[in-house]
């Protein structure tokens, strides 16, 4: 097998092997930047040009491939998201259960995957938002108890400064805004870092979101992930059992409402398309051609 080749005067390198792919690495952080697929057999050798813009590879399938750098910007977070989606679609196509980060074949949760600064920062922001929610919840309970004891109208406590700065929103809305800011590729790892004490506060919040129809997809994703990771603790917690009964109803109702909305919108779009195309003008012809051009223009194009 070929020895990995560095791009001259950089810490970037290309490697190849029996897995039939060429990989582009950052040797400083040991991050996989890109995977180049195209060969049908083992990749035996590669060579990098002096300027690093061209790579030539030779394979057991008796082919040589020329890989050229394009001007399209490369965003690592988008690459990781595409890899996760491809793995998920492959698992669904094969009928396998998708594994969680740190999970192996038997479904048992093992140690978490490698944490990144972004993941830890996202988890800290979410836990800080839960702390604000917990503080507001305690102040609200104390205000209600004081109102009942005094039997007179008691002024409400002042909301947290963060809630005032965000437009005088509720604590439930604030936690939702923080959760929405977390990247999709980092959400699972951020939830995995969260301690179970915060999970007991977060699960009732998910029920509140679903009850009000707030971000159904995000709430369902967080709920299913936490159920798979903390299943035994959740089903044995006396605090969460009533919440789970409520979640069973609200989750199904929210998902069915969202499905009906999507179905209605799709039917409306099909009706508009059919009405336009009856005039002889295809509605999506220009868009389709543009999409084909974008798909053909890859970050590294292959030429046999």
Pairing of strands 5-6, 21-26: unpaired
Q: Which residue blocks in 278-304 are alpha helix, DSSP H?
A: 285-296
Examine residue 288 and state whether it is found in any structural domain, yes or no: no
Examine residue 89 and state whether it is found in any structural domain, yes or no: yes
Q: What is the rounded CA–CA span in Å between residue 297 and residue 299?
A: 7
Q: What is the DSSP letter of 50?
A: T
Examine residue 238 and state whether it is found in any structural domain, yes or no: yes
Examine residue 266 and state whether it is found in any structural domain, yes or no: yes
Q: What is the rounded CA–CA span in Å between residue 297 and residue 295?
A: 5
Helix (H) or strand (E) holding 5: strand 5-6
**In this structure, what CATH number is given to the domain that contains residue 70?**
2.40.10
Average pLDDT over residues 18-47: 84
137 and 95 share a domain?
A: no
119 and 175 share a domain?
A: yes
How many CB atoms neighbour CB 233 within 10 A? Answer: 13
157 and 89 share a domain?
A: no
- Please write down the long-range contacts of 61-65, taking CB distance under 8 Å and 24 or more positions apart: 63/39, 63/304, 64/304, 65/38, 65/39, 65/302, 65/303, 65/304
Three-class SS state of 198: helix
Domain boundary among 28, 54, 74: 74
199 and 273 share a domain?
A: yes
Higher-pLDDT residue of 53, 152 = 53
What percentage of the chain carries pLDDT values higher than 70? 76
Residue 303 predicted with pLDDT over 70: no
Closest CA to 129 of 168, 164, 163: 163
The answer to whether residues 268 and 260 touch, using CB atoms and an 8 Å cutoff, is no
Least confident stretch, 29-38, 133-142, 195-204, 289-298: 289-298
Residue 229 predicted with pLDDT over 50: yes
Query: Using alpha carbons only, what angle is made at residue 222 by residues 220 and 227, rounded to the nearest 5 degrees?
Result: 95
Higher-pLDDT residue of 146, 48 = 48
213 and 172 share a domain?
A: no
Residue 198: per-residue pLDDT: 86
Average pLDDT over residues 259-270: 89
40 and 13 share a domain?
A: yes
Chain centroid to CA 3: 35
Pairing of strands 12-16, 21-26: antiparallel
The answer to whether residues 65 and 57 touch, using CB atoms and an 8 Å cutoff, is yes
Examine residue 289 and state whether it is found in any structural domain, yes or no: no
Two structure tokens written together for 155: 């002024």
Examine residue 201 and state whether it is found in any structural domain, yes or no: yes
Residue 218 predicted with pLDDT over 70: yes
141 and 127 share a domain?
A: yes
Domain that holds residue 134: 112-193
Q: What is the rounded CA–CA span in Å between residue 120 and residue 186?
A: 9
Task: Give the number of domains in the chain.
Answer: 4
Examine residue 246 and state whether it is found in any structural domain, yes or no: yes
Residue 299: per-residue pLDDT: 53
122 and 178 share a domain?
A: yes
What b-and-e string marks burial along 285-295, b requiring 16 or more CB atoms within 10 Å of the CB? eeeeeeeeeee
Residue 153 predicted with pLDDT over 80: no
141 and 189 share a domain?
A: yes
Summarize pLDDT for 41-83 with one digit per residue, the tens. Answer: 888 888 898 888 888 898 888 888 888 887 776 666 666 667 7
Residue 279: per-residue pLDDT: 76
Domain boundary among 74, 90, 121: 74
pTM above 0.85, yes or no: no
131 and 176 share a domain?
A: yes
Q: Give me the chain's average pLDDT, please.
A: 78
212 and 240 share a domain?
A: yes
Examine residue 297 and state whether it is found in any structural domain, yes or no: no
Beta bridge partners of 56: 47, 66
- Please write down the long-range contacts of 12-18, taking CB distance under 8 Å and 24 or more positions apart: 12/52, 14/46, 14/48, 14/55, 15/46, 16/43, 16/44, 16/45, 16/46, 16/57, 17/42, 17/43, 18/42
């Amino acid at each position: 097998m070929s020895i990995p080749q560095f791009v001259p005067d950089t810490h970037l390198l290309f490697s190849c092997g029996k897995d039939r792919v060429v990989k582009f690495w950052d040797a400083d952080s040991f991050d996989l930047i890109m995977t180049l697929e195209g060969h049908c057999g083992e990749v035996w050798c590669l060579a990098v040009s002096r300027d690093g813009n061209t790579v030539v590879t030779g394979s057991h399938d008796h082919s040589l491939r020329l890989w050229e750098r394009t001007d399209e910007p490369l965003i690592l977070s988008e690459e990781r998201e595409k890899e996760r989606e491809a793995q998920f679609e492959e698992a669904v196509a094969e009928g396998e259960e998708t594994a969680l980060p740190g999970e192996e074949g038997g479904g048992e949760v093992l140690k978490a995957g490698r944490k990144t600064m972004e993941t830890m920062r996202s988890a800290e922001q979410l836990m800080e938002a839960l702390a604000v929610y917990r503080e507001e919840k305690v102040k609200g309970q104390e205000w209600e108890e004081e109102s009942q004891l005094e039997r007179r109208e008691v002024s409400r406590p002042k909301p947290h400064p963060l809630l005032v700065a965000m437009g005088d929103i509720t604590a439930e809305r604030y936690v939702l805004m923080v959760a929405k800011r977390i990247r999709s590729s980092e959400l699972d790892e951020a939830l995995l870092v969260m301690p179970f004490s915060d999970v007991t506060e977060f699960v009732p919040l998910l029920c509140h979101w679903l009850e009000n129809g707030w971000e159904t997809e995000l709430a369902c994703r967080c709920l299913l992930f936490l159920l798979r990771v903390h299943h035994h603790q959740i089903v044995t917690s006396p605090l969460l059992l009533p919440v789970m009964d409520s979640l069973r109803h609200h989750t199904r109702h929210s998902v069915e409402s969202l499905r009906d909305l999507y179905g209605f919108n799709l039917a409306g779009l099909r009706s508009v398309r059919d009405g336009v195309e009856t005039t002889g003008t295809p509605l999506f012809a220009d868009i389709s051609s543009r999409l084909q051009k974008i798909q053909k223009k890859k970050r590294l194009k292959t030429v046999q």
